[in-house]
């Protein structure tokens, strides 16, 4: 039973038809959660005692950073599934996840830099987390660049999957080493990584935003995957019919 379902999941057409029904729900859920979370975080959550209002950037910075990392693992795992079970759809998901992950990594880097100016007095600090995030961004860029270099999509799929897997093995090592590097060079005056417990009045809007970002991610990933499916299967009958209908 489970295997049958697994194989059906591998069919691009089945995926396309199935997800048509999910899209409006995911879109509505992410729009609602993000709107509520943003209004809550921007207007109703109390000011931070030390950082004032600039801390309100946390409500987009942290969810984006979460998803940037989770997105890399998702990309690598779907690449691995593609390599092991030769599943076409899995490669498509991997290819769709790369630009989304890169965009979210960029968002977390950008918001972090903008947050840094009022808080630390400078846009860029070579802090352990920021540096790790930057390297994660380069890992994404590598996968995207490699995917664009091949003329044959099948070759690009496999090469990207392998690179993503190698990157996944490396991510924990990179994070640990950057952490170690930072403690070595940490300037005494700036303390960035204090782990203070967050107040519930700030935590709930943050949680709303995190769930909202997850919904948004799922929605956008499905959108990108569907478009890539159409592009790749454009010679098949069902796609021709779909495009002809104008739906």
Partner 1 sequence: MEFQFAGLADFIAMNGHGPFVWVAYGVTLLTMAGLVTQPLLERRRLRAEFRREQRIRERRAARRQPERPAAEAALAE
Partner 2 sequence: MSTPDTRHLPPVSATPADLSPRERRGPGFGALLQTELRLALRRRSDIANPLLFFVTVLALLPLGVGPEPGLLARLAPGMIWVMALLATLLSQESLFRSDFEDGSLEQLTLSPQPLYFGVLAKVAVHWLVTGLPLALLSPLLGLMLNLPAAGYACLLLSLLLGTASLSLIGAVGAGLTVALRRPGLLLALIVMPLYVPVLIFGTGAVQAAVDGYAYSVQLAILAALLAAAAALAPLAAAGAIRISTDS
| Residues of the shown chain interacting with partner 1 in the complex, contacts defined by CB under 8 A | 38, 42-47, 52-54, 56-57, 60-61, 64, 99-100, 103-104, 106-107, 110-111, 114-115, 117-118, 201, 216, 219-220, 223-224, 226-227, 230-231, 234, 240, 243-244, 246
Contact call for residues 219 and 27 (beta carbons, < 8 A) = yes
- The entry of partner 1, partner 2, none that residue 240 binds, CB within 5 to 8 Å by partner kind: partner 1
The least CB distance from residue 149 to partner 2, in Å, is: 5
Per partner kind, with CB cut-offs from 5 to 8 A, the member of partner 2, partner 1, none near residue 184 is partner 2
Binder of residue 117, out of partner 1, partner 2, none (CB less than 5 to 8 A by kind): partner 1
Residue keyed to tokens 């997800």: 19
The long-range contacts involving 11-16, CB below 8 angstroms and separated by at least 24 positions, are: 11/88, 11/89, 12/88, 12/89, 12/92, 12/229, 12/232, 12/233, 13/233, 13/236, 13/238, 15/89, 15/225, 15/226, 15/229, 16/226, 16/229, 16/230
Supply the minimum distance, in Å, between the C-beta of residue 60 and partner 1.
Answer: 5
The contacts of residue 203 (CB under 8 Å, 6+ apart) are none
In this structure, are residues 192 and 127 in contact, taking their beta carbons and an 8 Å threshold?
yes
The option from partner 1, partner 2, none interacting with 95 (CB < 5 to 8 A, set by class) reads none
CB atoms within 10 A of CB 195: 5
Spatial distance between the Cα atoms of 77 and 60, rounded to a whole number of angstroms = 26
- CB closer to partner 1 out of 174 and 218: 218
User: Is the CB of 15 or the CB of 115 nearer to partner 1?
Assistant: 115
Smallest gap, in angstroms, from Cβ of residue 111 to partner 2? Answer: 22
Instruction: Give the residue with the Cβ less far from partner 1, 182 or 219.
Output: 219
Least distance (Å) between residue 173 CB and partner 1: 29
What the block records as the tokens of 105 is: 């990594």
Q: Site residues (CB under 8 A) for partner 2?
A: 135, 138-139, 141-143, 145-146, 149-150, 155, 158-159, 162-163, 165-167, 169-170, 173-174, 176-178, 180-181, 184
Which residue, 95, 102, 40, is CA-closest to 67? Answer: 102
Nearest distance in Å: CB 147, partner 2 = 11
């Amino acid at each position: 039973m489970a295997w049958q379902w697994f194989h059906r999941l591998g069919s691009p057409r089945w995926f396309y038809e199935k997800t048509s029904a999910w899209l409006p729900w995911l879109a509505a859920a992410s729009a609602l959660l993000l709107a509520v979370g943003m209004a809550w975080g921007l207007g109703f959550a109390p000011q931070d005692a030390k950082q004032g209002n600039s801390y309100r950037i946390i409500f987009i910075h942290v969810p984006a950073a979460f998803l940037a990392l989770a997105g890399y693992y998702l990309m690598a795992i779907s690449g691995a599934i593609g390599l092991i079970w030769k599943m076409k759809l899995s490669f498509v998901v991997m290819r769709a996840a790369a630009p989304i992950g890169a965009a979210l990594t960029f968002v977390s880097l950008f918001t972090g830099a903008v947050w840094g100016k009022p808080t630390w007095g400078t846009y860029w600090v070579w802090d352990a987390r920021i540096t790790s995030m930057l390297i994660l961004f380069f890992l994404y860029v590598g996968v995207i660049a490699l995917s664009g270099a091949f003329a044959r999509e099948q070759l690009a799929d496999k090469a990207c999957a392998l690179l993503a897997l190698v990157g996944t093995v490396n991510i924990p090592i990179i994070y640990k080493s950057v952490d170690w590097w930072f403690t070595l060079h940490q300037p005494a005056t700036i303390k960035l990584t204090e782990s203070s417990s967050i107040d519930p009045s700030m935590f709930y809007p943050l949680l709303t935003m995190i769930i909202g970002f997850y919904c948004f991610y799922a929605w956008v990933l499905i959108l990108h995957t569907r478009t890539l499916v159409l592009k790749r299967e454009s010679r098949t009958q069902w796609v021709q019919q779909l495009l002809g209908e104008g739906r």
